[in-house]
Chains A and B, each alone.
Chain A
């Protein structure tokens, strides 16, 4: 029996795959073949194996997964709560189990083909859409993109033009398993045309408290001078697993700022692959994770610099308690022509009570001279001096801890320029800390 990365999903994959099924995607056959090598034939490269060193899907062994259907469940209270939280003046796109839900989503702009399209069997991919799967995400580049490419049933495509001004978009991806374990493969392709400017918030969560696995893929292309603020909040149900990937391609002088927050779920693996292909492009990736119980979060990011004078910074913070495990694998690759690159990555984690574990693996691959690259990582307990200082001012120890933990993340949140999003993230984080640290 093969014990490859995806072997716990072998039965599901064999029941759900077929190349003919992929005709609606208009994906090149060669692309599908390279995914097939991984998904069906378990041909993992050494890079794949190394990148899955700390994370296994073995907890899914023996679970009978079925394919996803669109269960909209409009009266679900959790769904209603999210709908209420989302700004009405944004463009809101809802996806249930990977399928676009028109009744939950906003009207208006999304009715315009020029902005939003969905690809599925009923709406096959056409040349005119400008969608070319495999153009941003290199086929076979990762296990998760291959899994998604091979099995997704529906994709949402967004094309944002400069003339639209600064737009706010919410992409809400909901998993709703009803009485049986499901796997979903949401897929989003976002293209920002030359000079376009947008803020996109992805939210991933479940509404059924059942076992499910979600494998979202977000591919983003920033054309010349485009600017994107990208937020991603992952707060899955306690027994859920989230294995998602974002691949981002940056053209000349484009700017990509991202912030992710991982809170829920039994297992979360979040891969960020950033390919800087344009001169003068800038990318900031920051994010945080908070873990309790036996949660497992694996943040794996790779930033590839291919061109002159580009900049990237990764700043990740984590908090782990009980029997949880947090992993940060951060790679910076500076290729031959990427002179004058400035790239850095930092990871800081706090361990609280119990036997939590943090693994951090920084990697720098530099193939040219005249670059500035740095990395740093710290893991420790709450600073005793800081705690004593606050408590010596009459603040009780629990509240003092709460202040220090919030403060630990506040530096990152303050980097976000949008006050409304800052407050939203603070409120989500604050309620997690109250539930898990104070009680």
Chain B
């Protein structure tokens, strides 16, 4: 059975239908990408999966690991293994990155019936993951995302994902704001997590992330509908031709 099954998903925001019947199945180990122009519902899909208020599912379902997540609270979705890397990570003044990471790890561990993480083990884990992402070790002493550069924010999202080890990662425009070196490092972080226990949904405007994280399937989202699904070669076509032909279809 597929790890993620999104079936005929209709979502409205403030009474306006944004997603108009989306169906995607993602199997264990697969990476899917969603591409499309601005304002077609890509971020709506990611917020609906993570459970943000104001995104009303009017029809359809989302099953993750066989469970209907639409009945779950936001934190429960995270605890069962969903991770949403934000397009614009939120700044939290007064909460250090270190404290935040410890709280998220411990929330997960308690859910799994484990003891809170030991301080030494925590530092070892974080340092190891930060090294892979080429991050400044002092960043964990700073308030979460406050005064982080665009690249630091995106790396911090991947850092969180790598310590939480989700079964379903949604990466919402993780490539935006990254220079080419940072893109390679962040992509490396994502690639290191891909295995048969989890799957990913990448949301992006551009081909460039998909040069480093190779998708199994690429879906084109236009006006709330998936208008085409292809393989890893589809982004090349999109890059060459743009979205205009799909807009006519939609």
Contact = CB atoms under 8 A, between A and B. Distances in A.
Interface of A: 384-386, 388-397, 399-400, 403-404, 406-411
Contacts of B50: 392
B74 A391 contact: yes
Interface of chain A, helix or strand or loop or mixed?
A: helix
Interface in B162-186: 164
B103 A404 contact: no
27 contacts: A384-B53, A386-B90, A386-B91, A388-B52, A388-B53, A388-B74, A390-B103, A391-B74, A391-B75, A392-B52, A393-B100, A393-B104, A393-B107, A393-B160, A394-B78, A394-B104, A394-B111, A403-B95, A404-B92, A404-B94, A404-B95, A407-B92, A407-B93, A407-B95, A409-B94, A410-B93, A410-B95
- Of the listed residues B52, B92, B160, the one surrounded by the most CB atoms of chain A closer than 10 A to its CB is B92
Interface in B77-102: 77-79, 84, 86, 89-95, 99-100
Nearest to B92: A386
Given A389-B86, A394-B108, A403-B100, A410 B94 contact: yes
B143 interface: yes
A44 to B, nearest CB: 41
Given A403-B95, A407-B94, A393 B164 contact: yes
B41 interface: no
A252 to B, nearest CB: 35
A400 B93 CA distance: 13
Contacts of A390: 92, 100, 103
Contacts of A410: 93-95
Nearest to B91: A386
B94 A396 contact: no
A389 B92 contact: yes
Given A391-B75, A394-B111, A395-B107, 19 more contacts: A386-B92, A388-B74, A391-B74, A392-B78, A392-B84, A393-B78, A393-B100, A393-B104, A393-B107, A394-B75, A396-B107, A397-B73, A397-B74, A403-B99, A404-B94, A407-B94, A410-B93, A411-B93, A411-B94
Contacts of B51: 392
Interface of B: 50-53, 73-75, 77-79, 84, 86, 89-95, 99-100, 103-104, 107-108, 111, 143, 160, 164
Please give me the 3 A-B residue pairs with the lowest Cβ-Cβ distance, nearest first. A407-B94, A410-B94, A394-B78
A72 B160 CA distance: 55
- Of the listed residues A384, A394, A400, A408, the one surrounded by the most CB atoms of chain B closer than 10 A to its CB is A394
B95 A406 contact: yes
Contacts of A393: 75, 78, 100, 103-104, 107, 160, 164
A410 B95 CA distance: 8
A389 B75 CA distance: 10
Given A384-B53, A395-B104, A408 B164 contact: no
A82 B54 CA distance: 48
A315 B77 CA distance: 39
B92 to A, nearest CB: 5
Contacts of A409: 94
Contacts of A388: 52-53, 74, 90
A384 B53 CA distance: 9
A280 B126 CA distance: 46
Contacts of B79: 394
Contacts of B164: 393-394
Contact of B90 (A389, A394, A403, A408): A389
Contacts of B103: 390, 393, 395, 399, 403
B114 to A, nearest CB: 13
Contacts of B84: 392
Contacts of A406: 94-95
A390 B52 CA distance: 12
A394 B74 CA distance: 8
B194 to A, nearest CB: 21
Contact of B94 (A389, A392, A408): A408
A189 B77 CA distance: 58
Contacts of A395: 75, 103-104, 107
Contacts of A396: 75, 107
B162 to A, nearest CB: 13
A392 B76 CA distance: 9
Contacts of B93: 407-408, 410-411
A408 B90 CA distance: 15
Nearest to A403: B95
Contacts of B95: 403-404, 406-407, 410
Contacts of B160: 393
A389 B86 CA distance: 9
B89 A397 contact: no
Nearest to B77: A392
Contacts of B78: 391-394
Given A392-B51, A403-B103, A385 B90 contact: yes
Contacts of B86: 389
Given A395-B75, A407-B95, A408-B94, A389 B89 contact: yes
B73 to A, nearest CB: 8
